[in-house]
Amino acid sequence: QSVVSQPPSASATPGQRVTISCSGSRSNIGSNYVNWYQQVPGTAPRLLIYSDDQRPSGVPDRFSGSKSGTSASLAISGLQSDDEADYYCASWEDRLNGVVFGGGTKLTVL
Amino acid sequence: QLQLVESGGGLVKPGGSLRLSCAASGFTFSDYYMNWIRQAPGKGLEWLSYISSSSTTIFYAESVKGRFTISRDNAKNSLYLHMNSLRAEDTAVYYCARDPAGTGWFDPWGPGTLVTVSS
């Protein structure tokens, strides 16, 4: 079991808005930034959101991140078929002196 | 452009050793913290190790502490992972990734190299 938890799956139709949650504790999300990654099967992960809500250059503004307390969310609006991928949240874990990843959420675009 | 390329993966017997390399280009390697992350077949991402720009700070996940050693050669723009006492559960794709702020977010990632531990 991951220290940080995510729902294993999510789905929505093209054009809709979907949110993926990420739940942790005071020693990780509650006191450190949350980062989000997108991974299309067979490829390396790609950074989507860093420092809770910052988008790297090249990431569309359809992707947004937020955090409150020990939980965080990734929102994708105007869903497109090529958004179908696995999404991972991650945060520094103070008790382990390392990064912990959520178990990943498989997003299906119906 | 920013690029990381891992190499050194392959098939190794349980108890064996392997050294992975990560070649960096397109940025000043010596300025950045670097990390190794792995992904077992069909599983999620697992962070393994972190090394500061001057190698003064190093952290490991409990699952590899004492068996794996991270190192870097800034003159060669290269990151390494020395893996000893390999187990079947170490079978995974191993990624190197740059940590732009030293705070645990990774960008970019290399394409990964597959390590298979099997007799």
Q: What is the nearest CA distance from A47 to chain B, expressed in angstroms?
A: 6
pLDDT value of position A22: 98
CB contact A2 to B (< 8 Å): yes
Q: What is the per-residue pLDDT across A74-94, written as a single tens digit (0 to 9) for each?
A: 999 999 999 999 999 999 999
Say if the Cβ atoms of A35 and B95 lie within 8 Å.
no
Nearest CA-CA partner of B9 in B81, B112, B114, B85: B114
Angstrom distance (rounded) from CA A91 to CA B33: 16
> Angle at CA B35, nearest 5°, toward A5 and A59?
65
Q: What is the per-residue pLDDT across B46-98, written as a single tens digit (0 to 9) for each?
A: 999 999 999 999 999 999 999 999 999 999 999 999 999 999 999 999 999 99
pLDDT value of position A1: 65
* DSSP label of A82: G
Suggest the residue from B1, B34, B38, B45 to mutate for an interface test with chain A (most A CBs closer than 10 A): B45
Q: Which amino acid type is present at position A110?
A: L
Residues of chain B whose beta carbon is less than 8 angstroms from a beta carbon of chain A are 35, 44-47, 50, 59-62, 95, 101, 103-112
Please give the mean pLDDT across all residues of chain A.
96
